[in-house]
Structure 1
């Protein structure tokens, strides 16, 4: 909740109690309750308006698919790269990169991948004598 843990919340409540004092604290608590009630009323009204405008399709929306917290950039990159790695021949073993930071081993692996990849025939470059 707002990046505040339980201990910090207790400290804030104690500070509010000391600063506001016992005579003004009930008034502010009542104002806070009205604010929370109006925010809930606003959210329910917005939801009802959305249902009314979208119609029955609103109930069919899968909100879990639209949750941005489910997107993990590491998974997205891994899935994108797995398509590239699936194109390799089945005889070559997939080796996980080391986390030691050794660039020489990575360069050797890259050279092996380049050398095992079939070379594409160079395409003839189109040349237009009238264009020059």
Structure 2
């Protein structure tokens, strides 16, 4: 099976292509397809050797089956994430009771906005605005 196509489907596609192209142009197209296939194989082999050269000795240690996107199962990933242990908090709340409450206490005087004038009334409201 090549990319999900069976032999019957490939034969049907080839027959339709032969009927559309015609018998006089078919050998030329077949030759160009063969050249394209050769160039694609060369490109893949050079790409593979370049990756192997750049990754070094670790290239053979990689388990490529685990990186296959067809192995991706979002349900499994979510299940594993939910079953992992909860992260340990880095800040210990209420360790020092006096320091924690004074840091979280509201200020004694309300903070004045630098954008409003000296009056402390509610902000203006326009009932006709949309």
Distance 1:52 1:81, change over 3 A: closer
Hey, what does 1:97 align to over in structure 2? none
TM-score (norm 2): 0.58
Hey, what does 1:26 align to over in structure 2? 27
- Mapped to 2, the partners of 1:60 and 1:131 lie a distance apart of 64
Distance 1:54 1:6, change over 3 A: same
- Mapped to 1, the partners of 2:63 and 2:109 lie a distance apart of 56
- Mapped to 2, the partners of 1:131 and 1:14 lie a distance apart of 86
Deviation string 1:6-45 (CA, Å, 9 cap, x unpaired) is: 4443332222111212221111111101100100000101
The aligned length equals 94
- Once the 2 structures are TM-superposed, how far is the Cα of residue 78 of structure 1 from its aligned partner? 2.3
Alignment of 1:94-109 (within 5 A): none
Hey, what does 2:107 align to over in structure 1? 129
Distance 1:12 1:49, change over 3 A: same
RMSD over aligned CA atoms reads: 2.7
**Structure 2 gap ranges (5+):** 86-99, 111-130
Alignment of 1:1-132 (within 5 A): 1-2=2-3, 4-83=5-84, 126-129=104-107, 132=110
**Structure 1 gap ranges (5+):** 85-122
Distance 1:50 1:17, change over 3 A: same
TM-score (norm 1): 0.57
- Mapped to 2, the partners of 1:57 and 1:131 lie a distance apart of 63
In terms of Rg, which structure is larger? 2
Distance 1:131 1:33, change over 3 A: farther
Higher helix proportion, which one? 1
